[in-house]
Structure formats: structure tokens, C-alpha cells
A and B are shown apart, each in its own frame.
Chain A
Amino acid sequence: MTTTTAPHHADAPTAEHVHDAHDAHEQSFFTKYLWSTDHKVIGFQYMITGLLMAIIGGYMAYGFRMQLAWPGEWIPGVGFLSSGRYNAFITTHGTVMIFWFAMPVLIAAFGNWLIPLMTGCDDMAFPRINRLSYQVFLISAVVLIGSFFVDGGAFGGAWTAYPPLSSKATMNLTPLGSTLWVVAVALEFVAFLLGGINFITTAMNARAPGMSMMNIPIVVWMIVVASILFMVSVGPLVAGAAMLVFDQQLGTHFFDPGQGGDPILWQHLFWFFGHPEVYVVLLPAMGICAEIITCNARKKFFGYKTLIYTVFATGIISFFVWAHHQFVAGIDPRMANVFTITTLIISIPIAEMLFLFIATLAGGQIRLNVPMLWALSFVAEFLLGGVTGIFLGASGSDIYFHDTYFVIAHFHYTFVPIAVIACFAGFTHWIPKMTGRMMNETIGKLHFWFTIIGFNLVFLPLFITGAWGDHRRIYNYDHFPDLTNAAMQDLRIASTVGLLIMIAAQGFFVWNLLWTWLKGPPAGDNPWQATTLEWATTSPPGHGNFHPMPTVYRGPYEYSVPGAAADFTPQHLPPA
């Protein structure tokens, strides 16, 4: 066991590190913001890129929701949406929101901001690999956006990219776009591999003295476990992606049943990654909400160890549920039974986590500030997503619900709380730390309520149309008389109106950002009276984060301890 004073000086100290280890010095804009190895700057890069990509994903959603509500009509800002563009829009919406919004924001941005600050170290274990991670990520985003401008347009075979639609240009009509899509996703995976190696290594090797494994804040554990899940699950998909590119460009037949290949093979490789991926984004979101709920309930987190072990259990079980996406793909019914059972089993640890959140809230002195509102709504909305998942996890009912809007509504009731609600929760909670300025509570509450109302209006109607048998992947319902009755079309329009409200609500967010930038009051070191280490340093933290480096004396959630001087006892405070 080696012991060192600072993490990344252990291996091959370079001139650069020795030089700028702790003393900040004047740097040009380029080296400071674009070529930085500082984890906080890289966190901002990921956050800003992720939010910009979310605008692109939201624009796509706007385009196809307008088409679905008023088919064939001219859409302001989009024009007439052809069927090919419609397919490209839904594909890019899904891909962008998962790979270029949820993952960069929840794992990369918050991971970069929080892991070194919460574990009390000066930077990531491998700062230059961290920088490379963002650069590769940026290239991947450029490749994806670029695919809209090549011959044939962007890939339109859904974010799941099932062959043969994705593998044969004669079917998808996007000879270059489909390959660029795979390449962009693969590059994005490389970026997150580099990032994930950093997150795990930093959290395991560079923690402040005294911080035992069971003193690590929950969100750090969550990001670490999410990174492990991502790493273990992504390998088979990378193998599948390589095979897919070979099928597209080299003329191999990995997924061509007529030539000895197997199209179901892709579905297995994809969902072996795709389902753990749900937990890859869910766990950091839950960690963010756990931090905020504990802090604002002014109570110790209920069952810290239970939560950590539950997270490990979730991570392991998440590798045994993937085929519940394939109940109608022609898999053996006996296999479907097995996967139904594992799917129902995984709802137990997730429910347990939500119960722990509720138990933490019970009897607390709850502060309903903006981050807390977001975190509480995460619990409520995610619960709806989780409960409706039971119907889809059971193979019997899934045969009816498969490929209906019920699936879309279920999925978005899990994913919007994860990517949007938890993202805003974490953003509003930690932006005072990262910028040194408080956000506006009133504008924040307006933003919150309009977003939540809009979001529910988008997806509640879709549960109903889905239960009525409304099929997804249909560009224009005018061609399907069974699906064009007035009641269904009204619900579709309601859903689109909800989306417009949700998009308009983001105006409050932009307003709040500008307000914070121009006249946000100074935040001080610890505006929320929180206990974890990131609040022990200045806002924003300087280069090297802590002066002096902290030592940890207790667990992360010592709120309202009887007999203590204040209702919170920070981790770094030496015992009296």
C-alpha cells in the first residue's frame, strides 16, 4: 500500500505538474478555458456542452411533436417535416438526450465538479486524460451534428439502431449518416471511458485523510458505481458497433440472416449495454437528489450503508434484465419468463432507495428552496415512471404495450426526472459553489413549476393514447384510420402543448442565469449550511481547491446532531 500526499504526483511527475500544482498564475483564455486540466473547468465544459446539446435534442422533440399534433402542416422554425427528416429527428432526439445530454451533465459535469471537491483533493487522478476525455467528447458531438449535413442526411433508424435497418444503406437511405452516427457514439464512449477511469481512480485513491469508504458522500459513490456499470456494459456494445460499421461499410454479414448472420444478436449486444445504461444515468441523479434532500431536510441520511449496498445490488442485477426489451423479438418464452422475474426483482432495490429518501424526509425540518423542490419532484415523478415500468417488465402485458406510446410515456417519466429534473436540482444546488453567486429563488420557482406542469402535460396523455394502442414510429396518423379518432388527436395536441410550455419555461432558466451572472449576490463558502467537503473551500474554489487540504473526521451527513453547536457539523471540522 503506497501513501502519498497528493494523488497525481505519485506517478511520473511532469514539469507541468510540479510547476502549477497549487499556485494559480496568469493564463491566456485558451489555456485557461479550452485547454485546461482543471477538473472544475472541464466540469463547466461538459455542463455547457451538455446543455447546448439539450437545446438541439429539444428542438428535435419540438419538430416531431408538432408534426404529430398537426400532421403535414408547416412548423415554425422547422418547415415541413418530411418522413425522412422525421426519422432523423426522433433518432437524434433519443441519441442526443441520452449520450450527449444526460451522460455529460449527470456523470461528466457533476462527476468532475463533485468528486475532487467532495473527496477533498486538488484535482482528478489523471488530469490530462480528463482533458482528453472532454476533447474526444466534443469531437463526437461535432461528428453527430455533422451527420445532418452529409449526403442522405442524418441516421433515422432510432437510437437503438436495430439491423437490418441500420446496417443496409438500401433500407435506411442514409449511407453516410448511419456510419457517422455509430462513429459519433463510439467516440462518445471513448470519452466516457477516459472520464470513468478518472472518476473511479480518484474516488478510490485520492480521498482526503480520514475519509473511509463509508464516509464518502452518496453522490460520489453513485457516480463511481455508475462509471463501473458503464465500463462493464459498454464493451459488448463497442464490439457490436464495430460489427455494425463493418456491415455498413465493408460488406460483412454479421447481422444479415440471409448470409449466416443474426439480427437479434445486435439487440442482445445493444441492450446488454442499454439497460445498465438506464442505471448509469439514474444513479448519479439519485445521488444528487440524496445530497439535496439530506441537506434540506436537516437530517442525517436515513440508512447510508443500506443505500450503498442497495446501489451495489442494483448495479449487479442491472446486468440480468436486458432481454425485457426483446419480448416481442422472437426470443424463447422460457427466457422471457426469466427476464420478467429479474426485471421485477430490480424494482425492489430501486423502491428501497426511494423509501430511504422518504424516511430521510420524515420528521425533518424541510427547507423548500429551489434545489429541494427539484429533488422532491424527482422522487414523485420517478415513482410514476417506475410503477408503469412494472407493466412493461412483465412479458404478458408487454406484448400488448410494446411499441406503443405507453412505452414512450414510461420511459420519459424515468428519464426526464433523471436528465432534466435532477440536472436542475444539482445545477441550482451547486452553482453557488461553482460560480460564487446565488441564483434567484423566485425565478427559480417559476422555472420549476412551469417545467413540471409542462412535463406532466406532455407525458400523461401519452399513457392514455398508449393504452388505447397508439403505435409509436408513425410519421403521419392520417394513414391509419383506427388511430385518428378525435379523442386521440386531442390528447396528442395536449401533449404537444405541454412540450411548448416546457420549452417556454426554460426561458425562466435563461433569465435566471443572466440574473445570476449580472447581479447574483455572493454565495459565501457554505450557503446551504451543508456538511460535505466541497462547502469547506471558497466559492468558487481556487486552483488546487483547498488551502490547506482538509482532513475528514466524521460521516458526510451530520445534520441536527443533539448537543452540537450548529444544526450541521461539517466533515472537516475537528472534534471539539
Chain B
Amino acid sequence: MTAISAPMMPLEVKGGAEPPARRQLVSSATLGMLIFIAVELMFFAGLISAFTIVKSTAPPGAWPPPGQPRLPLELTGITTLVLLCSGALAWLSWRAFSRRAATARVTRPLVAALVLGASFVVVQGVEWLRLVGEGLTMRASTYGSFFYMIVGAHALHALAGLAALAWCWRRHAAGRLAPSSFAAVLALWTFVVALWPALYAVVYL
């Protein structure tokens, strides 16, 4: 809008040279997702602080409880790397998408991110079955309770993130994926991926 077509444009308005449009910090979808992620971050902060308090007040030698199975350090270390790769691939897909690259260059890393993320969840599930079989259950000890609580909460978020990635894939295949939607989903998946190493360090190490 030029000054001629807007004779009433006042001088006091900050940035008066700009057209009178609604200014957005970031797209609404991304802002909403970032707020949601902040909530989830505090949720996990609550779980981790609770875990840390109970762990630090346990009598010497009682943590982890004797007679309970140990958590699979090495295997989970590998799956951690798998999950990190998944996050990187999702970003590669976003980069191709935002540069309006050919469909295949968006889809391929996206599907790879999906597969790696799904394999992370599947390996976790298999490990859970093994641990439950060896006697580490939610009821057996607070150690087990916290393990399933924290890792399970993360797994639920991972499943939600995978569903969102799959939705992006379908929308993109149909040619109807809005950049703001993809950005919001990417933010969610980045949160899931970036949170995991912290949880691994606190719960497993």
C-alpha cells in the first residue's frame, strides 16, 4: 500500500512505512507447536527432577536395586545414534522442501527418517519385553517405575512425532503440504530427537 492510497496513514504508527498488515512472530502453527513443546519440556523436567530426587535419596547400594536387571547401555547407545540420524534426515528433507527441490529429494530423506525413527521405537519395545521377562516391572521397584514412566512417555511422543511425519509425507505426496505445517512437525520431531540423549544420560548412564 502506498502513501497515496492510504492518506489516513498516521505518522505515530511505529513502522509507518510498512503496509498495515498483521505482523506475525512466526507462523501460527509453528508458534502453537513451540508453546506445546515448552509444556512437554516442563513435563519431562518434572519427571527427571522426580527421578533425580528419588535416586539421590536412595540408601547407598540400593540404586539401582540389587537383583534387578541392568538397562541395556550399548544397544540403547546405538539406537540413540539411529534416532539422531532420523532427526538429521528430517532436517535434510525440510531443507530440500524449503528450496522447492524435486519431490523425490524431499520424500527420500523423509521416509528414511520415518523408518529410522520407527526402528528406534521397535527396538525399545523389544527391549522392554526382554526387561519385563527378566523381572524389571513397574511394580517391582521405583527404579522400574521411573524407567517405564520416563522412557514410555518419550516413546509416546516418538509415536506421535512419527505419525506427524507420516502425515507430512502423505500431504507432500498429494502436493498439499503447507510450509508452516511441515515446520511445526519438524519442531516436534526435533524435540523428540533432541530430548532423547538427555533422557539416555539421566536414566541409563
| Docked complex: A518-558 residues within 8 A CB-CB of B | 551-554
Whether the Cβ atoms of A239 and B27 lie closer than 8 Å is no
Whether the Cβ atoms of B25 and A242 lie closer than 8 Å is no
A454 to B38, CA, bound (A): 42
Nearest-neighbor residue (CB-CB) of B42 within chain A: A235
Instruction: Determine how close the nearest CB of chain B comes to the CB of A187; give it in whole angstroms.
Output: 15
B50: chain A residues at CB < 8 Å are: 239-240, 243, 254, 265, 269
| Docked complex: A3-27 residues within 8 A CB-CB of B | 3-8, 10-12
Instruction: Determine how close the nearest CB of chain A comes to the CB of B133; give it in whole angstroms.
Output: 18
Q: Which of A7, A254, A553, A554 is in CB contact (< 8 Å) with B142?
A: A254
Main secondary structure of the interface of B (DSSP, over half): helix
Contact residues on B (Cβ < 8 Å of other chain), bracket: 35 or more
Instruction: Determine how close the nearest CB of chain A comes to the CB of B149; give it in whole angstroms.
Output: 7
Q: Which of B10, B25, B54 is in CB contact (< 8 Å) with A261?
A: B54
Query: Residue-by-residue, is B1-43 near A (CB-CB < 8 Å gives 1, otherwise 0)?
Result: 0000000101011100001111111111101100110111111
Query: Residue-by-residue, is B170-200 near A (CB-CB < 8 Å gives 1, otherwise 0)?
Result: 0000000010110000000000000000000
Whether the Cβ atoms of A4 and B22 lie closer than 8 Å is yes
B65: chain A residues at CB < 8 Å are: 260
Whether the Cβ atoms of B22 and A206 lie closer than 8 Å is yes
Q: A200-B31, A200-B35, A575-B12 are in contact. Are A205 and B149 (CB under 8 A)?
A: no
Query: Residue-by-residue, is B138-161 near A (CB-CB < 8 Å gives 1, otherwise 0)?
Result: 110111011001000100000000
Nearest-neighbor residue (CB-CB) of A214 within chain B: B14
Any B CB within 8 A of the CB of A233: yes
Q: A2-B27, A238-B43 are in contact. Are A254 and B145 (CB under 8 A)?
A: yes
A204: chain B residues at CB < 8 Å are: 24-25, 31
A231 to B26, CA, bound (A): 19
| Docked complex: A245-280 residues within 8 A CB-CB of B | 246, 250-254, 259-262, 265, 268-269, 272
Whether the Cβ atoms of A10 and B49 lie closer than 8 Å is no
A6: chain B residues at CB < 8 Å are: 22
Whether the Cβ atoms of B58 and A260 lie closer than 8 Å is yes
A265: chain B residues at CB < 8 Å are: 50, 53-54
A554 to B14, CA, bound (A): 10
Instruction: Determine how close the nearest CB of chain A comes to the CB of B33; give it in whole angstroms.
Output: 9
Contact residues on A (Cβ < 8 Å of other chain), bracket: 35 or more
Any B CB within 8 A of the CB of A95: no
Instruction: Determine how close the nearest CB of chain A comes to the CB of B39; give it in whole angstroms.
Output: 5
A4 to B21, CA, bound (A): 6
Any B CB within 8 A of the CB of A307: no
A239 to B49, CA, bound (A): 10
B20: chain A residues at CB < 8 Å are: 209-210, 551
Q: Which of B22, B36, B143 is in CB contact (< 8 Å) with A193?
A: B36
Instruction: Determine how close the nearest CB of chain B comes to the CB of A491; give it in whole angstroms.
Output: 41
Instruction: Determine how close the nearest CB of chain B comes to the CB of A546; give it in whole angstroms.
Output: 13
Whether the Cβ atoms of A205 and B141 lie closer than 8 Å is no
Whether the Cβ atoms of B49 and A236 lie closer than 8 Å is yes
A126: chain B residues at CB < 8 Å are: 28, 32
Instruction: Determine how close the nearest CB of chain B comes to the CB of A128; give it in whole angstroms.
Output: 12
B13: chain A residues at CB < 8 Å are: 210, 552-553
Q: Which of A129, A205, A238, A240 is in CB contact (< 8 Å) with B24?
A: A205
Any A CB within 8 A of the CB of B47: yes
Q: Which of B8, B10, B139, B143 is in CB contact (< 8 Å) with A250?
A: B139
Whether the Cβ atoms of B180 and A3 lie closer than 8 Å is no
Q: A5-B21, A201-B35, A250-B139 are in contact. Are A262 and B54 (CB under 8 A)?
A: yes
Instruction: Determine how close the nearest CB of chain A comes to the CB of B143; give it in whole angstroms.
Output: 8
Q: A231-B35, A231-B39, A254-B145 are in contact. Are A246 and B12 (CB under 8 A)?
A: no
Q: A231-B35, A235-B40, A262-B57 are in contact. Are A252 and B21 (CB under 8 A)?
A: no
Looking at B26, B44, B50, B53, the one whose CB has the most chain A CB atoms below 10 A away is: B50
Nearest-neighbor residue (CB-CB) of A259 within chain B: B142
B125: chain A residues at CB < 8 Å are: none
Instruction: Determine how close the nearest CB of chain B comes to the CB of A208; give it in whole angstroms.
Output: 7
Q: Which of A125, A231, A233, A242 is in CB contact (< 8 Å) with B28?
A: A125
A209: chain B residues at CB < 8 Å are: 19-22
| Docked complex: B43-74 residues within 8 A CB-CB of A | 43-47, 49-50, 53-54, 57-58, 62, 65
Any B CB within 8 A of the CB of A574: yes
Nearest-neighbor residue (CB-CB) of B152 within chain A: A242
Whether the Cβ atoms of B181 and A553 lie closer than 8 Å is no
Nearest-neighbor residue (CB-CB) of A236 within chain B: B46
Q: Which of B35, B41, B53, B138 is in CB contact (< 8 Å) with A262?
A: B53
Whether the Cβ atoms of B178 and A260 lie closer than 8 Å is no
B36: chain A residues at CB < 8 Å are: 193, 197
A183 to B50, CA, bound (A): 20
A492 to B178, CA, bound (A): 63
Any B CB within 8 A of the CB of A1: yes
Q: Which of B10, B22, B180 is in CB contact (< 8 Å) with A5?
A: B22
Any B CB within 8 A of the CB of A321: no
A254 to B180, CA, bound (A): 40
Whether the Cβ atoms of A553 and B10 lie closer than 8 Å is yes
A252 to B51, CA, bound (A): 14
A413 to B49, CA, bound (A): 33
Nearest-neighbor residue (CB-CB) of A230 within chain B: B39
Query: Residue-by-residue, is A112-131 near B (CB-CB < 8 Å gives 1, otherwise 0)?
Result: 00000000010001100100
Instruction: Determine how close the nearest CB of chain B comes to the CB of A115; give it in whole angstroms.
Output: 14
A4: chain B residues at CB < 8 Å are: 21-22, 24
Instruction: Determine how close the nearest CB of chain A comes to the CB of B95; give it in whole angstroms.
Output: 19
Any B CB within 8 A of the CB of A232: yes
Whether the Cβ atoms of A240 and B138 lie closer than 8 Å is no
Whether the Cβ atoms of A201 and B145 lie closer than 8 Å is no
Whether the Cβ atoms of B8 and A574 lie closer than 8 Å is yes
Q: Which of A5, A239, A272 is in CB contact (< 8 Å) with B47?
A: A239
Whether the Cβ atoms of A208 and B29 lie closer than 8 Å is no
What are 27 A-B contacts defined by CB distance under 8 Å?
Answer: A1-B24, A3-B22, A5-B22, A6-B22, A10-B28, A126-B32, A193-B36, A196-B35, A200-B31, A204-B25, A207-B22, A209-B20, A212-B14, A235-B40, A236-B43, A236-B49, A239-B43, A250-B139, A254-B50, A259-B142, A260-B58, A260-B62, A260-B65, A260-B143, A261-B142, A265-B53, A265-B54
For the complex of A and B, 7 pairs with smallest distance between CB atoms: A236-B46, A235-B42, A209-B20, A235-B43, A239-B46, A3-B21, A252-B145
Interface residues in chain A, defined as those with a beta carbon under 8 Å from any beta carbon in chain B? 1-8, 10-12, 121, 125-126, 129, 193, 196-198, 200-201, 204-210, 212, 231-240, 242-243, 246, 250-254, 259-262, 265, 268-269, 272, 551-554, 574-575
